């Protein structure tokens, strides 16, 4: 019996066994996200999100890269993790929370990262709306 394989399987199963971590994995299937983007979707304290991300990284389910002051998280590259992820998410396709998360991720991807991380989701969204409204009113003023 290969104990390292057993240890790996247990670590992966444990990491996927928490709703916040499973939601995070589902978000990352569509591409990497900055930690503050994940935090905005999960609406958890940054320290809590960091702890969840640490558990996912330890299990090999995610990988991180630093770009300037931003930490980007993506799915791990090991081929052995893909079946785990696919199986764990197979039963969540109709879940309202998962669908809402994915819709919110798409909206958050459209927000300036600086605003989202510095101001938070609500303020960043409002700032973007104000800019759009201002641009529209200026277009309406043109002859």
Instruction: Compute φ and ψ for 74, nearest 5 degrees.
Output: -135, 175
Q: What are phi and psi of 64, to 5 degrees?
A: -120, 150
Give 19-79 as a DSSP string: HHHHHHHHHHTT--EEHHHHHHHHT--HHHHHHHHHHHHHTTSEEEEEETTEEEEEE---T
For residues 48 and 39, give the distance between their C-alpha atoms in angstroms, rounded to a whole number.
Answer: 9
Walk me through the domains of the chain, giving residue ranges and CATH numbers: 3-109 (1.10.10.10)
| Residue with the two structure tokens 């039963």 | 91
Quickly tell me which residue has 């303020």 as its tokens: 123
Determine the pLDDT at residue 91. Answer: 87
The pLDDT of residue 64 is 96
- Per-residue pLDDT for 131 more than 80? no
* Percent of the chain residues topping a pLDDT of 90: 73
Average of per-residue pLDDT across 24-32: 95
pLDDT digits (tens, 9 = 90+) for 63-114: 999 999 999 999 998 778 889 999 999 989 889 999 999 999 999 999 999 9
Residue 3: the pLDDT is: 43
Q: What pTM, to 2 d.p., does this model score?
A: 0.86
Contacts of 51 (CB under 8 A, 6+ apart): none
**Segment holding 115, helix H or strand E:** helix 113-119
The pLDDT tens digits of the residues spanning 34-72 come to 999 999 999 999 999 999 999 999 999 999 999 999 999
């Amino acid at each position: 019996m290969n104990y390292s394989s057993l240890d790996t399987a247990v670590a992966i199963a444990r990491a996927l066994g928490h709703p916040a971590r499973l939601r995070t994995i589902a978000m990352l299937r569509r591409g990497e996200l900055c930690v503050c983007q994940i935090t905005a979707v999960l609406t958890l304290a940054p320290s809590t999100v960091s702890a969840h991300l640490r558990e996912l990284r330890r299990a090999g389910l995610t990988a991180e890269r630093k770009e300037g002051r931003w930490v980007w998280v993506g799915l791990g590259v090991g081929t052995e993790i893909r079946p785990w992820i696919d199986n764990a998410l197979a039963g969540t396709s109709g879940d309202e929370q998962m669908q809402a998360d994915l819709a919110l991720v798409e909206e958050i991807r459209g927000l300036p990262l600086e605003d989202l991380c510095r101001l938070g989701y609500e303020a960043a969204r409002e700032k973007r709306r104000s800019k759009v409204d201002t641009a529209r009113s200026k277009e309406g003023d043109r002859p």
